[in-house]
Amino acid sequence: MTDVLSRRAWLAGSTTWLAGTAAAPAIEPIVRAGRPRLRIALAAYGFRQFFRWSRGTPQRPADEARALTIDSFIDLAADLGCDGAELTSYYFDPAATEADLLRTRRHAFLRGIEISGSAVGNNFVRPRGPDLDAEVADVKAWIDQAALLGAPHVRVFAGP
């Protein structure tokens, strides 16, 4: 094969190509119609080791001095200057009533925190039967509860 490129020829060609691309003009930046809409929210799941509740059972926080409830998590998001908070179903007291959820929504509003969304976990890989039916019912119930909180979306973790 006589078409084999020598290292010297490849280096000369690539240097020429590199010089040409470096001298090429860049495109103009995109002009925005207003300010950027990027807003920062805090996800409860990122603080999972500090919550007093997890999946319906009490848990011992990793650091008792920094233990969290949903309300104190909302306070943390406000204190950090966040615009919103994503509230995960696991970390609510399992005895929370509709009134408790509305109180949490009001607390977030008063602290200037938008409930940016919610998340719920389950196990949809169970075989058909009562266990899977219970998982589906739990997610449907949380969708209704997230609506009470004013969450614009619910993220569903579909696996174990």
What CATH number is given to the structural domain containing 53? 3.20.20.150
In the structure encoding, which two tokens stand for residue 123, read together? 């196990």
HSE on the CB side for 74, CA within 13 Å? 24
Is residue 72 a part of any domain in this protein? yes
The DSSP bridge pattern shows strands 41-43 and 84-88 to be parallel
Is residue 26 a part of any domain in this protein? no
**What pLDDT is recorded for position 30?**
83
**What pLDDT is recorded for position 76?**
97
Is residue 4 a part of any domain in this protein? no
**What pLDDT is recorded for position 110?**
98
What mean pLDDT, rounded, does the chain reach? 89
In the structure encoding, which two tokens stand for residue 64, read together? 């008792």
- Using alpha carbons, select from 86, 95, 23 the residue that is nearest to residue 53: 95
CB 135 within 8 A of CB 111: no
Is residue 81 a part of any domain in this protein? yes
Separation between Cα atoms, residue 102 and residue 121, nearest integer Å = 22
Is residue 47 a part of any domain in this protein? yes
In the structure encoding, which two tokens stand for residue 148, read together? 């009470």
Q: Quote the number of domains for the chain.
A: 1
**What pLDDT is recorded for position 1?**
55
Q: Where are the alpha helices (DSSP H) in 2-159?
A: 7-23, 70-79, 98-110, 130-149
**What pLDDT is recorded for position 108?**
98
Is residue 87 a part of any domain in this protein? yes
User: What region, left, alpha or beta, does residue 112 occupy, with left being phi > 0 and alpha being psi -120 to 50 degrees?
Assistant: left
Q: Which domain holds residue 124?
A: 41-157
Predicted TM-score of the model (pTM): 0.74
Vertex 72 angle, CA 68 and 78, to 5°: 130
Is residue 34 a part of any domain in this protein? no
From residue 139, how far is each of 39, 44, 65, 123, 134 by CA, in Å?
A: 27, 18, 32, 10, 9
**What pLDDT is recorded for position 68?**
92
Which residue positions in the chain have pLDDT lower than 70? 1-2
Is residue 32 a part of any domain in this protein? no
